[in-house]
Amino acid sequence: MKLLEGKTVLVTGASTGIGRAAAIGAAQHGADVVINYHARDEDAEACIAAIEATGQRGLAVKGDVAEPETAKAFVAKAVEAFGKVDVMVNNAGICPFHAFLDMPVETFERTMRVNLHGAYFMVQAAANQMVAQGHGGAIVAVSSISALVGGEYQTHYTPTKAGVHSLMQSTAIALGKYKIRCNSLLPGTILTEINKDDLADDAKRTYMESRVPLGRLGAPEDMVGPIVFLASDMAAYVTGAALLVDGGMFVNLQ
Ligand SMILES: NC(=O)C1=CN([C@@H]2O[C@H](COP(=O)(O)OP(=O)(O)OC[C@H]3O[C@@H](n4cnc5c(N)ncnc54)[C@H](OP(=O)(O)O)[C@@H]3O)[C@@H](O)[C@H]2O)C=CC1
Ligand SMILES: C[C@H](O)[C@@H]1OC(=O)[C@H](O)[C@@H]1O
């Protein structure tokens, strides 16, 4: 069953990782897909090729989500190409692991701007377009298990993920009157570029795997079903919710 037939889905940070999987998964579910990315031109092109291989239309728009203008341009180009915006998956993010006591100001500020400010501007731009269209919509923000728990080398990052989760709660209220649903996805540890270096340490990777009751770290494809569900009409009465998709890691105290 195709859950996103006839919809236009926008995904930020989709040149690789979770965003790429979500974009291709949305196309497999019948959506035309517009992706944002910042640096990886070839990977973005490959993502569009994979979208088009499903028979759907795809478009890549390059831009830094930390800049407010990027969000407006992204939505405008999506409307120009495919006529409307039905779903925004806010996914772009960075996590440059670093200790707390000597955190460089630039690393802190850049992480805030990309992950939290970027989400705010993207959600706002998509919501304005959806309100103008007048037939509602769905926003899925990729937050994290890190919205709920801490990380020694993630003191700049975990507040952004809590912020994204909180943004979905407040926008669910602000946008409910327009039939726009806002939910967050809270992935556990998913094997992508963002943690490639961190998990290159065998001891750390083995420890992280041991924390997961389902016995393995996640793959980007594990996020597709939950994202597509939240974006689809199957979730018509779901808003302001957070869906933890972590193989059971969060509940594994001992
Ligand atoms: N992997 C994990 O374990 C978890 C990840 N998450 C969240 O999932 C999201 C995706 O992460 P993941 O797939 O793992 O990471 P990846 O590093 O694999 O992908 C990140 C994506 O974001 C894009 N991106 C980064 N900075 C910018 C920017 N300034 N403007 C536009 N796009 C940007 C990258 O594009 P490009 O490279 O082209 O710049 C890339 O497409 C993030 O928000 C992350 O916090 C949440 C929980 C766990
Ligand atoms: C980058 C981390 O490995 C990843 O990101 C998160 O949000 C979780 O904390 C994961 O561990």
pLDDT, tens digit only, all 254 positions of the chain: 999 999 999 999 999 999 999 999 999 999 999 999 999 999 999 999 999 999 999 999 999 999 999 999 999 999 999 999 999 999 999 999 999 999 999 999 999 999 999 999 999 999 999 999 999 999 999 999 999 999 999 999 999 999 999 999 999 999 999 999 999 999 999 999 999 999 999 999 999 999 999 999 999 999 999 999 999 999 999 999 999 999 999 999 99
- In degrees to the nearest 10, what's the CA dihedral of 36, 40, 42, 43? -70
**Per-residue model confidence (pLDDT) at position 83:** 98
Question: Quick one: which atom of ligand 1 is closest to the CA of 14?
Answer: 41
The string over 133-148, giving b where at least 16 C-beta atoms fall within 10 Å of a residue's C-beta and e elsewhere, is: eeebbbbbbbbbbbbb
Question: Quick one: which atom of ligand 1 is closest to the CA of 164?
Answer: 43
Look at phi and psi of residue 161 and say left if phi exceeds 0, alpha if psi is from -120 to 50, else beta. Answer: alpha
From ligand 2's centre to the CA of 11, what distance in Å?
19
In the numeric block, which tokens belong to residue 154? 């993630």
**Per-residue model confidence (pLDDT) at position 152:** 98
**Per-residue model confidence (pLDDT) at position 89:** 99
Instruction: Give dist(CA 227, CA 171) in Å, integer.
Output: 18
**Per-residue model confidence (pLDDT) at position 223:** 99
Longest CA pairwise span in the chain (Å): 52
CB 65 near ligand 1, within 6 Å: yes
In the numeric block, which tokens belong to residue 235? 């979730």
Residues in a beta bridge with 181? 138
| C-beta atoms surrounding 13 within 10 Å | 28
**Which architecture, in CATH terms, is 8-251?**
3-Layer(aba) Sandwich (3.40)
Which residues, other chains included, contact 203 with Cβ-Cβ below 8 Å and sequence gap of 6+?
none
Whether 170 is a known active-site residue: answer no
**Per-residue model confidence (pLDDT) at position 100:** 98
Contact 63, 116 (CB under 8 A): no
Which residues, other chains included, contact 91 with Cβ-Cβ below 8 Å and sequence gap of 6+?
11, 12, 13, 14, 18, 19, 22, 141, 142
> Parallel, antiparallel, or unpaired: how do β-strands 32-37 and 58-62 relate?
parallel
Residue nearest to atom 28 of ligand 1 (CA): 64
Q: Cα angle vertex 223, ends 218, 227, to 5°?
A: 165
**Per-residue model confidence (pLDDT) at position 235:** 98
